Structure 1
Amino acid sequence: MTEPVAAAFALPDHALAGVGSRPFGIYIHVPFCATRCGYCDFNTYTAGELGTSASPQSWLEGLRRELDAAAVMLGASGAVPAAETVFVGGGTPSLLGGDGLADVLGAVRSSFGLAEGAEVTTESNPESTSPEFFGRLREAGFTRVSLGMQSAAQHVLRILDRTHTPGRPVAAAQEARAAGFEHVNLDLIYGTPGERDEDLDASLDAVLSAGVDHVSAYALIVEDGTALARKVRRGDLPAPDDDVLAARYERIDARLAEAGLSWYEVSNWAKDDAACRHNLGYWDGGDWWGAGPGAHGHVGGVRWWNVKHPARYADQLAAGELPVADSEHLTAEDRHMERVMLTLRLRSGLPAADLRPGELVAAERAVADGLLARADDRLVLTDRGRLLADGVIRDILS
């Protein structure tokens, strides 16, 4: 382990008290991208934007320092918790190459160690992968890979500013499986301006031909400050249509269900035992340390987030400071709202006993309207309710 930093940010005793008794994961944010996609508002930087101010090497050194400091902090009142899940996201983690990602996982092992049977995921851009890349990941200990496909239609990819060729994601998924990955996810985005029903069908055909055991499908959201938002504002592209989005979601759900992938969260489908355990930790209120520029963490009702720029991130850690930009202590009300918001999105549903009397009345109205169903003592979104999930949750909490 490298010399841990002296952290100005500190978790209170009440947050540390339950460490190890709750699910614990580590999220690592890789902020580097080869190009910037027009719809993306994540904390990412191209080489041209960074210049010489930051590099993968300075980022990795900062990451090692942050993880070491995190292990010291979380182990202050007991044993350092072993990571039950690790998720390397971005950005484009695959730009680090197989050896670079092996170094990242090595840093986690050095600071925290991995629990028996840990789930270790990395996101990857299909264009920066190869059979050798996947082989190196398996050798290093990664157990799961998530590939950004978005669409199989070239004109849709062009609107999204995606640079991969339409057939590459399927080939990459097959290479990952050949390398020994049992768990492979493909990401889809639906509702892009110009996308037709036949384009979505082609994307689903491609996904199913790849033999993956997990699919994430997200409606296109036009985020403020993105190139896509500027095109919509100028009238160059139409905004996504809600009715079209709903129809596309139903189409996706039907095709995936027919192929044996069941929804377990509103935007995620998986075969048996293939749900992403790391993301379930978020939705079930677990603990995780978010490492890297702009990463968010949560332990015992305390949430924090790091500074965004990779150069400042590395500099603060080199100076002996944790790079935390700000933090908040969640109140009982905050935690209740988040539990309702997140747990109701899961197929397992929300225990009715977790709702307050007025909220339960609103939930019963949703049951009468066919948006929620009772499954023993739990409330679960119906098929129609999933289309209106945000509204259902808003009505319950209002």
Structure 2
Amino acid sequence: MAVPVLPEASALPAPALAGLAGRPFGVYVHVPFCATRCGYCDFNTYTAGELGSAASPRSWLEALRRELDLAALVLGSAPPADTVFVGGGTPSLLGADGLAEVLAAVRAAFGLAPGAEVTTEANPESTSPEFFAGIRAAGYTRVSLGMQSAAPHVLRVLDRTHTPGRPGAAATEARAAGFAHVNLDLIYGTPGERTEDLAASLAAVVEAGVDHVSAYSLIVEDGTALARRVRRGELPAPDEDVLAADYELIDRTLRDAGLRWYEVSNWAATDAARCRHNLGYWRGGNWWGAGPGAHSHVGGVRWWNVKHPARYAGLLAAGESPVGGREELTTDERHTERVMLELRLAEGLPLDALDVAGRRAARAAATEGLLEGSTMDAEARAVLTDRGRLLADGVVRRLLG
């Protein structure tokens, strides 16, 4: 079936558009460029050698402007963006000037709400005091730095190219440039990572003084270089028991440092430090994802762009939609996603969002210490306990029946 040509308002059904004005609206921008490919990564990214002359940051930016302008016409009644998140890939490869152009394109298409949260991801090695000063002046309010680990041998397994001390130094530079909100990303469970390695990484995070930490267990994704190494027996697969112990160490260390979990894999020092853009995802919000391979969601309609930057740019240059696929979620699918996502939050899921069987399962989970005991109250929320966080996927399955 042919992909609808933009900008036709009929590209989205009226019920999906109707709820835009009353809810926060986010914009995600995908930057598909990386200097090197990390062995564990299955994101839609490309090195210069992989792209050759097929695409460039300049052609990508021109296409991005076209998509954002067309998106504004399609959505029509969309409010100014409450959050903007520039991810990748490696957005910092665009430099401060390139990221300023990205934000200017978002601002021109949608405008920014007062107090908008504007985040960019960055590789510590492609940042500097001048970079942080430049993006702060452009209007960015938050920076997320990829640290992953402080142990050199762990970074080598992950094919990360930054030096171990650089993420902390970059965080210091970002704060000096005026960023109140700085995140460091960690990956735990890498083959060869010892408890003392993770403890050293956490010590470096705490010393950096950031107000937000994201920590994700290593997932060996099919098709990656890491998956091939595990399949050949060169590296062991992550061990579930080790991952659970690692998570408990992370949570305990960050809690002692004044950061509290607000989503299973995210900790923040204050409510203001929480990532509002990601909270929009977890709460089933509306966002437009611009760029190659980016995903969007508006009012129960989800779609995703073609992946290759050259094809993405070519479609937009021809005035055609870059959408590669689309689905309209059923009521049951939206319910499933709500339970899956909201239960991951420290605020939990309203118990009345569950059916009778789901509420019965929640009470049983509370009895077993997986949910807070207050789920016995019909007006309460289903909130994961510390133990429940370790078994969150299983709890979700039980609540969904």
TM-score range, shorter chain: over 0.9
Contact preservation (8 Å) 1:5, 1:66 = no
226, 229, 232: which one pairs with 1:228? 226
Question: SS of the residue aligned with 1:185?
Answer: strand
Question: SS of the residue aligned with 1:372?
Answer: coil
Question: SS of the residue aligned with 1:41?
Answer: coil
Match of 2:40 in 1: 39
Distance 1:173 1:20 in 2: 36
Contact preservation (8 Å) 2:7, 2:71 = no
Counterpart residue identity of residue 304, structure 1: W
Distance 2:236 2:363 in 1: 37
Q: 1:20 Cα shift?
A: 1.7
Match of 2:65 in 1: 64
Task: Tell me, yes or no, if structure 1 residue 396 matches structure 2 residue 399.
Answer: yes
Distance 1:145 1:374 in 2: 37
Task: Tell me, yes or no, if structure 1 residue 241 matches structure 2 residue 242.
Answer: no
Counterpart residue identity of residue 274, structure 1: A
Distance 1:52 1:328 in 2: 33
Task: Tell me, yes or no, if structure 1 residue 351 matches structure 2 residue 354.
Answer: no
TM norm structure 1? 0.97
Deviations 1:180-226 (A, max 9, x none): 00000000000101001110111011001111000000000000000
Distance 1:235 1:222 in 2: 13
Counterpart residue identity of residue 399, structure 2: I
Distance 1:336 1:87 in 2: 26
Q: 1:9 Cα shift?
A: 7.7
Q: 1:362 Cα shift?
A: 1.4
Distance 1:150 1:395 in 2: 32
Contact preservation (8 Å) 1:37, 1:161 = yes
Contact preservation (8 Å) 2:289, 2:296 = yes
Q: 1:6 Cα shift?
A: 3.9
Contact preservation (8 Å) 1:344, 1:380 = yes
Report matched runs for 1:7-86 at 5 Å: 10-75=11-76, 78=77, 80-86=78-84
Q: Give the length in aligned residue pairs.
A: 392
TM norm structure 2? 0.96
207, 210, 220: which one pairs with 1:209? 207
Distance 2:10 2:128 in 1: 40
Contact preservation (8 Å) 1:31, 1:293 = yes
* Cα-Cα RMSD: 1.2
234, 249, 252: which one pairs with 1:251? 249
Match of 2:277 in 1: 278
Q: Identity percentage over the alignment?
A: 74
Shift in alpha-carbon separation, 1:176–1:213, aligned structure 2, 3 A = same
Deviations 1:222-265 (A, max 9, x none): 00000000000000000000000000000000000001000000
146, 149, 157: which one pairs with 2:147? 149
Q: 1:374 Cα shift?
A: 4.0
Deviations 1:12-48 (A, max 9, x none): 1110011121121000000000000000000000000
Q: 1:283 Cα shift?
A: 0.4
Question: SS of the residue aligned with 1:370?
Answer: coil
Counterpart residue identity of residue 63, structure 2: G
Match of 1:385 in 2: 388
Match of 2:112 in 1: 114
Match of 1:172 in 2: 170
Task: Tell me, yes or no, if structure 1 residue 362 matches structure 2 residue 361.
Answer: yes
Distance 2:104 2:311 in 1: 23
Report matched runs for 1:283-294 at 5 Å: 283-294=282-293
Contact preservation (8 Å) 1:127, 1:164 = yes
Q: 1:5 Cα shift?
A: 5.1
Distance 2:15 2:216 in 1: 36
Question: SS of the residue aligned with 2:383?
Answer: strand
Contact preservation (8 Å) 1:43, 1:91 = yes
Deviations 1:259-284 (A, max 9, x none): 10000000000011210000000000
Distance 2:373 2:15 in 1: 35
4+ runs deviating over 4 angstroms: none
Match of 2:138 in 1: 140
Counterpart residue identity of residue 267, structure 2: W
Shift in alpha-carbon separation, 1:299–1:374, aligned structure 2, 3 A = farther
Q: 1:66 Cα shift?
A: 0.3
